[in-house]
Amino acid sequence: MLFANHEPMGIALLGLNGKDQPMMEMFLKRYWSTQCIVVPDHLAKLCILDLDGIEGNRLLEKQQSEYNDRPLIVLSVHDMSIDGVRVLRKPLRTELLKQTIDVCRSEILQDCIRIEKSKPEAERIIRVSPTTKPAKQQGLASEWQYQSSGENKRRLSVPSAASQARFIESTCGKSNRKRMISL
C-alpha cells in the first residue's frame, strides 16, 4: 500500500548494530520493496527499535517523547510490555515481524484516510491549471518542413528508415566480415 501521493512509507531502524541493520533492510526490501524505504527517524512514519543495543533505553525515551503519535516496534531479548508500543521478542520470527509491520502500516494508512476525510471537499480537491503551453519539439516526424522557391512550395519529408539504410549501405558498403568468437 502506497500513500495517496504514491510515495513509499518511511521506516526508521534505530539501535541496530553490526549486521542487524543490513539484514533488516534486506528483509524490508524483500517484502515491501516499493512500499517501504529506510529513512532517518525524523522522516519516518514507523520506527523499529532494538532495545538491547547500547543506547536502546535512551532511544526509546526519545521516541516516546518526541514521536509519540507514530507506531513503534521494539525488539528485545527480554519479555516485557510497554504502553503504546509493540514489543517483539528476539530471536525474531519473520512471519510475526511481517504481520506486525503490516498492522502498523494499515493503521498509518487509516489515519491518513481519516485525516483526509475530515477536511472539507474544497481543501481535498486540488485543481491544477497549466500556466504555460508545452513547447513544441523540433524534428518530429509529424512536423513537415517546407522549402519555398519563388511561387512554388515543396515539402521536405523526413527520410524513412529504409531510405536511411540504403544511404548508409551506399556510402559505407555492406560488411561481409563474419565475427570470430574465441573461446
The rounded distance, in Å, linking the Cα atoms of 19 and 165 is 56
Q: What angle do CA 19, 54, 85 make, to 5 degrees?
A: 90
Q: Is the pTM of this model over 0.85?
A: no
pLDDT in tens, 23-71: 999 999 998 888 889 999 899 999 999 998 888 899 999 999 998 888 9
pLDDT in tens, 137-150: 554 444 455 555 55
What residue ranges define each of the domains in the chain, with the CATH number in brackets?
9-121 (3.40.50.2300)
